[in-house]
Amino acid sequence: MISEKKIEKQIRLSDLQKGDEAHIEGFEDDEGSLVRLRDMGLHDGISLRVIKFAPLGDPIEIKTRGFYLSIRKSLANRILIKKNNGIK
Amino acid sequence: MKNQVDNIIEKNKITDEQILDTANSLRWDLGENLHDSLLESIYQDAAEISEKVVTKVDEKPRYDWDRTLDRLLTSRWTGFPIMLLMLTIIFWITISGANVPSALLASFLIDTIHPVLKDAAAYLGTPLWLDGLLIDGIYLAMAWVISVMLPPMMIFFPLFTLLEDFGYLPRVAFNLDSLFKKAGAHGKQALTMAMGYGCNAAGIIATRVIDSPRERLIAIITNNFSLCNGRWPTQILIASLFIGSMVPAALGGLVSATAVVAVALLGIVLTFVTSWFLSRTILKGEASTFSLELPPYRPPKILQTLYTSIIDRTIFVLWRAIIFAVPAGAVIWLSANVMIGDQSIGEYIVNFMDPFGLILGLNGVILFAYIIAIPANEIVIPTILMLTVMVLNASGVGEGAGVMFELDDYQTYTELFAAGGWTLLTAINLMLFSLIHNPCSTTIYTIYKETKSLKWTAISTFLPIVMGIAICFFVAQIWRIFVGAG
């Protein structure tokens, strides 16, 4: 059980589908743009929902803390999340 | 956490020093999450305050309306067509709305006031050259710029600001960001591009929304490919005269409009291509992050918008344009009236530039006109007309050498251009060159003020013109191979 959990890859925000709800579990590094997201209130434990993807596939629009934010997949790829419903 | 601290202070009535000590020890308890915990308590405070003082309208109906609009404006199938439609509608409203006011202003400033000024000057006994320089040169240049520039700007800028207030523009950036990212630029460049359709100088100032200096420079350098209001009259006139006239009259209007939109789209393509090129060569670097809040849609405050857009944008840009039109008017008049031998300076210059112009599928008149029109794109057509007349020594048209004017019906235009040796190739290359040449001096000045760098101002000025010369050259060669003489 425990080793399974360790080997399992962390899910990232960019892996989610439209409509998925999740909460933030961490960030990949301490780079400036991620710190900026944290300053906007998106830190560990905060919930979010994926609203849609742009017509060309990028960026992603999410709803979090009561506002709508669009971020590029390359940034979303560095946000570790855990889905809210169902099994991980 | 916050409550703990409050309690401690309350209970013990302790001194500042003791507070600091307590804070220090508590900090160790918090461990690594200090940053987050701090943020969270700030947010909690903010939420408590907001709960007490902000009145929220029932959220549900708002939410549905917003979501529906968003679905329409940013969906896979309708997002892009709607953007194209909005662009066309805004173009169409500005063009047709500006026609009548422009004509009115022109007839007032030029047909009415100009003769009055001439009479006054004659009454005061002003020497002919001064009279000509001040009234025929400088005053007419200013009158031209005002009557041609002011009406479209007063329509375009409020329209654009209304769209901004409504909340549509972030959605445009959202839709286009992927393309910009592939070109190595930033999604917000979509917004500065859109602004450039009103006035490139305003578009340059708009680039302040882009944080990364590298991406901001890309947006600045490529802004010129957005057809500013001053260039629309050139595009429309040439398209109507040369392209629309090739089809039956009923379709003429539609065909010319399509030609102009095609040129605008070419400008967009060039923006992406040039951005891509710049980000691979002189502006190499990392793609910065793109995070943009999509605000809720709001009904725009119309009166407030009209007021601010007129004061902030229209008058400000117009003022700069007038200042730069003054020397242009002087130069036009002087070049046509100062003689060397039996020819005016203007004639010498036009003849000198003719060979180079013809290689590019243009001619000497057009090149010289573009040099004179560096201050403001709107005086290109009147200058071309004046120079053509001067070169042909045509009589019965216009008011004498060096005086700018506009003809009343299309027939006379066509005859004049035919006499000047213009062909369809000339017209097409003129439209291309109008899209791809140096920015006007107002814009160049604005670029310098925003970048504070001579190097980048020079690049922004010369890159488009080098591209324009290259493109016109190739089009001319290919045309002459396939179509024959042109």
Element (H, E) at A85: none
Residue among B75, B288, B289 whose CB faces A55 most closely: B75
Residues 6+ apart with CB under 8 A from B155: B93, B94, B97, B98
Residue among B39, B74, B289 whose CB faces A43 most closely: B39
Within a 10 A sphere around the Cβ of B67, how many other Cβ atoms? 12
Tokens of B107: 């007839």
Q: How far is B7 from chain A (nearest CA, A)?
A: 26
Q: Which one of A13, A70, A73 would you mutate to disrupt binding with B, by most B Cβ within 10 Å of its Cβ?
A: A70
Contact between chains at A54 and B175 (C-beta distance less than 8 A): yes
* Phi–psi pair at A50, nearest 5 degrees: -85, 120
* Phi–psi pair at A83, nearest 5 degrees: -65, 150
Span A10-19, mean pLDDT? 88
Tokens of B451: 């970048």
CA distances B113 to B127, B141, B217, B297, B333, Å, are 20, 13, 44, 47, 19
Contact between chains at B181 and A72 (C-beta distance less than 8 A): yes
Angle at which helix B249-280 crosses helix B168-182, to 10 degrees, equals: 60
Report the 3 state secondary structure along B130-184: HHHHHHHHHHHHHHHHHHHHHHHHHHHHHHHHHHHHHCHHHHHHHHHHHHHHHCC
Contact between chains at B289 and A75 (C-beta distance less than 8 A): yes
pLDDT given for residue B410 in this prediction: 55
Residues of B with CB under 8 A from a CB of A: 33, 35-36, 39-40, 43, 70, 74-76, 79-80, 170, 174-175, 177-179, 181, 187, 287-296
- Strand order across the B291-293 sheet: A79-83, A21-27, A47-53, A60-64, A67-71, B291-293
pLDDT given for residue B462 in this prediction: 95
Residues 6+ apart with CB under 8 A from B205: B446, B450
Residue A7 predicted with pLDDT over 50: no
Tokens of B347: 């004639």
Number of continuous H segments (helices) and E segments (strands) in chain B = 23, 3
Residue type, B459: I
Residue A87 predicted with pLDDT over 60: no
Question: With bands split at pLDDT 50, 70 and 90, how would you rate the model's confidence at A9?
Answer: low
Q: A52 contacts in B (CB within 8 Å)?
A: 70, 74
Residue A6 predicted with pLDDT over 50: no
Task: Please give the Cα distance from B390 to B401 (Å, whole number).
Answer: 6
Contact between chains at A36 and B294 (C-beta distance less than 8 A): no
- For residue A38, the chain B residue with the least C-alpha distance is B36
Span A65-81, mean pLDDT? 89
Q: Please list the pLDDT of chain B residue by residue as tens digits (486 residues).
A: 667 767 766 776 667 788 888 888 877 777 666 777 777 888 888 888 888 888 766 555 555 677 788 888 888 888 888 888 887 777 777 767 777 787 788 788 878 888 888 888 888 888 888 887 888 778 877 787 777 777 877 887 788 888 888 888 888 888 888 889 888 898 889 889 988 988 898 899 999 988 889 999 999 999 999 998 788 878 877 887 788 777 776 676 677 777 888 899 999 999 999 999 999 998 888 777 777 888 888 888 888 888 887 777 677 767 766 777 788 778 877 887 888 877 788 888 888 899 999 999 999 999 999 998 887 787 787 778 777 777 776 434 444 444 555 555 556 677 778 878 888 899 999 999 999 999 988 899 999 999 999 999 999 999 999 999 999 999 999 999 988 765
Angle at which helix B189-196 crosses helix B168-182, to 10 degrees, equals: 110
Q: How far is B31 from chain A (nearest CA, A)?
A: 15
Q: How many residues does chain B have?
A: 486
Burial class (CB in 10 A: 0-12, 13-18, 19+), A21: middle
pLDDT given for residue B14 in this prediction: 66
Full-prediction pTM beyond 0.80? no
pLDDT given for residue B313 in this prediction: 67
Give ipTM to 2 decimals.
0.79
pLDDT given for residue B274 in this prediction: 95
pLDDT given for residue A3 in this prediction: 47
pLDDT given for residue B9 in this prediction: 65
CA distances B357 to B363, B421, B427, B473, Å, are 4, 12, 13, 10
Task: Please give the Cα distance from B156 to B159 (Å, whole number).
Answer: 5
Q: How far is B173 from chain A (nearest CA, A)?
A: 10
